[in-house]
A and B are shown apart, each in its own frame.
Chain A
Amino acid sequence: MKIGLYFCTCGTNITATVDSDKAIAELTAQFPASYAAKVEFICSAEGKSFFKEHLLANRPDRVVVAACSPREYENTFMQILAEAGINPYYLQVVNIREQVAWVTPDRAQATRKATTALRSAMARVGKQLPLEKKELDANGDVLVVGAGPAGLQAALFLAEAGRKVVLVEKSPAIGGMPVLYEELFPTMECGPCLLEPFEEQVLHGDYAHNIELLLLSELQSVTGFYGNFNATIRQAPRFVGHTCIGCGMCVEACPATASNEFNCGMNEKKAIAMPFLGALPNLPYIDPKACLRGRGDSCQLCLDACPMPGTVELDDKERIIERKVGAIVLAIGSKLYDCGKVKGLGYGEVPGVYTSLEFERLASANGPTAGEIQTPAGSAPGTVAIVHCVGSLDAKHQPHCSGICCEYAFKFNRVLEHKLPGTKVYHLYKELVVAGKSDFSMLEHAQKNPHATFIRYRDLAEIKVAAAPGGQKITYRREDGKNDSFTAEMVVLCPAMVGGEDAVKLGEMMDLSRGGAGFFDELNGRLHSSQSKVKGIFVAGTCQAPMDIGQATSRAMASAGYVLSGLAAGKKLVIEPISATVDEERCSGCRICSGVCPYKAIGFIPETETSRVNALLCHGCGTCVAACPAGAIQGNHFTNDQILAEIEAILQ
């Protein structure tokens, strides 16, 4: 085998300590079919052109370059090989500058070390196989799950770039949680005012034709991989068609009622109802669990009341919808930590104790009390206790800080000051967190409220809320260790944000890992904070971590950006050749490999009972290769053969 050894002297950087002639003489004697050429600076324009011409003239079977670290120019040299018509994977670059010449002052020692390194590379390179990058067609369409601010932003961003988006939302309306909030921090702008125009763009904007909105829909299964996913979506019947004019006559006629989930169960809704006032799309839906027909009744009062024939479709059925997409953006939101788990706070037991979400609805004009903040007795509270850090920063519950709770707690302070001037507000907190360029103003404003009191408590477990005459008695231990108490007519709890049930379900469906609080893990929280650990599945918003609307929509745009650059129009997906392959003849199907793969790149073929690596998902780390007890996995470009040849030559 003819190995071309190109020895870069790097000026005198290498040859100052490494005797190149001695090394070359020894190596060419050991590999007689080989030749050697010295170059002064192989990285220079002249050096590269010499390298290419020399390769073309000598047509070696393999190439070894003795130079600086392969981390510098390996790719460049590979390109030159390709230009010279030689497979670029027929190359070894030997680092005799950083790892030999510069660190070994003794000339004899340096020459010996360089010769050993070159000998092992020449032994290894002979075993190297020609590899090729493969290309794969990819689908540019995107599935976005969740139509809150993050999901809407991702969908719009992609639609504006001309991508087809399938937007799947579980509820009958879009806008997510913040559209239910009267005001948003830190600017105190109204939630619907901010979000409704945004929702309108998704529904009727210039790029709405690129968005297929599937409401009352849930993802049922996902197969395939980056570039080529198959998604199955189950859409529940709405029983109301798009010819609806939103007049509400059906709602008036409906005789059945049920608990209203959009108001956290604090009032009732009709079985056919608008999700909430102002909900978009402006369409009622029938809750089949509440509808009399679900109990065998033949009621059709809604249909009879509807002025638009054919709009109420009482025989509407569930649909199974299949879509092919190249990428998936998960923007499914989060949930509040269950306050019932914090014993002593009285949630669910003592009337007048609310979660922050319930308070948002009490303060909303389209909420259960039309925006009147009322105690269960129907009167305005004279004193409101806001308990921060409920289940947060607490080893017994959730160790993390949810980041946004302080801000909305101060927002509640302002809402109370505005709606019920003179109301006393107690902030009981463990820590106050208000980072950011405009967020501190929320705290400042709350502190300026002359009726606000800030109390730092020691331990949430020491706060007791009990029903008392005139409201709830709140007992707590102060920072100085003394017990104290006061009475409030209303208690608002600010719970930790945690991953929701859908994250569990979708996580299992798509093999996505989740952290302790149930949030999706990112590929890397600093550099790839919108990529999940599964290639082609992106995460945005509070399903990945607690965050505010601005952060959530930014992550959504980042997700969209990944899709637009990774699945750019006309671009094929490149399968890197440095990946693992399973020899199915030798595979026993033990699946140890898939257990150690950090990228879920190894699947199991039930027909043959063997494992198979998806080269598109494989990053080429080789962990599975080392783990396979049958030696059935080959790590391309780092095969056992190649590495063992290298070791043997080192120790010759």
Chain B
Amino acid sequence: MTTLETPNSESFEPKIVGFLCNWCSYAGADKAGASQTPYPPNVSVVRVMCSGRVDPQFVLDAFHQGADGVMILACHPGDCHYKEGNYRAVQRHRILLRLLEQFGIEKERCNFDYVSAGEGEKFVRVITEMVSTIKGLGPLKLTASAA
């Protein structure tokens, strides 16, 4: 494994939900698979047709259900299969981060990035970095009022 683990984080295996758009990021994940590059197993993929489908409610629900992190991976600007869904996604993500802060959820726990259908290596990198970041942050502990 290529994870950059800190000594304290070894026992903690974060649960991360990754929303991947069907056309670019999901295909990027498949490219990583085809090149058989290992990466940490902590991200469970939810395939959506477009990152624009990612309802902020899904992210909140994931945290509510116990996710330590959420990733939204989209097509690069200008590449969206549906023309502009990724712009909607990035707008919603920005607003969502402000909301998450109100709940006491660190913004690093909700990552937005662009991965194209060709970027298997980038996919591995963003997943690895995210897992490392969340390991550094530790498990998400929501207070009763926020949860």
Interface residues of A (CB under 8 A from B): 69-71, 95, 97-100, 102-106, 109-110, 112-113, 116-117, 120, 533, 578, 596, 598-599, 619-623, 625-627, 635, 638, 640, 643-644, 646-648, 650-651
Given the interface pairs A647-B61, A651-B62, the reply to whether A621 lies near B41 with Cβ below 8 Å is: no
Whole-angstrom CA separation of A435 from B124 in the bound complex: 42
Whole-angstrom CA separation of A533 from B22 in the bound complex: 21
6 contacts between A and B (CB under 8 A): A117-B44, A621-B52, A621-B53, A626-B54, A647-B17, A650-B44
- Contact check, A647 vs B85: say whether CB atoms are below 8 A apart: no
Name the residue on B nearest A524 (C-beta).
B83
| Candidates A71, A103, A621, A648; contact of B49 at CB < 8 Å | A621
- Contact check, A116 vs B44: say whether CB atoms are below 8 A apart: yes
Chain B 48-64, CB within 8 Å of chain A: the 1/0 string?
11101111111001100
| Candidates A104, A599, A621; contact of B38 at CB < 8 Å | A104
Residues of B within 8 A of A102 (CB): 33-34, 36
Residues of B within 8 A of A638 (CB): 48-49, 53
Residues of B within 8 A of A110 (CB): 41
Given the interface pairs A95-B30, A650-B44, the reply to whether A640 lies near B50 with Cβ below 8 Å is: no
B71 close to chain A: CB less than 8 A: no
B76 close to chain A: CB less than 8 A: no
- Contact check, B37 vs A623: say whether CB atoms are below 8 A apart: no
- Contact check, B32 vs A598: say whether CB atoms are below 8 A apart: no
Residues of B within 8 A of A98 (CB): 29-30, 32-34
- Contact check, A647 vs B88: say whether CB atoms are below 8 A apart: no
| Candidates A120, A626, A648; contact of B55 at CB < 8 Å | A626
16 other A-B residue contacts (CB within 8 Å) besides A623-B85, A647-B65, A650-B15? A97-B33, A98-B32, A103-B36, A110-B41, A113-B41, A120-B46, A599-B82, A622-B53, A625-B55, A626-B88, A635-B53, A638-B48, A638-B49, A644-B58, A650-B17, A650-B46
Whole-angstrom CA separation of A364 from B32 in the bound complex: 63
Residues of B within 8 A of A109 (CB): 41
Closest 10 CB pairs of A and B: A98-B33, A622-B53, A623-B52, A621-B82, A621-B50, A651-B65, A598-B83, A626-B55, A113-B41, A650-B44
Count of B interface residues, CB-CB < 8 Å: 43
B112 close to chain A: CB less than 8 A: no
Residues of A within 8 A of B26 (CB): 69, 71
- Contact check, A622 vs B50: say whether CB atoms are below 8 A apart: yes
Whole-angstrom CA separation of A71 from B30 in the bound complex: 9
B122 close to chain A: CB less than 8 A: no
Given the interface pairs A99-B29, A622-B53, A626-B55, the reply to whether A120 lies near B39 with Cβ below 8 Å is: no
Residues of A within 8 A of B30 (CB): 69, 71, 95, 98-99
Name the residue on B nearest A598 (C-beta).
B83
Whole-angstrom CA separation of A117 from B55 in the bound complex: 21
Whole-angstrom CA separation of A651 from B46 in the bound complex: 12
Residues of A within 8 A of B49 (CB): 578, 620-622, 638
- Contact check, A533 vs B48: say whether CB atoms are below 8 A apart: no
B107 close to chain A: CB less than 8 A: no
| Candidates B45, B48, B82, B88; contact of A117 at CB < 8 Å | B45
Whole-angstrom CA separation of A168 from B54 in the bound complex: 44
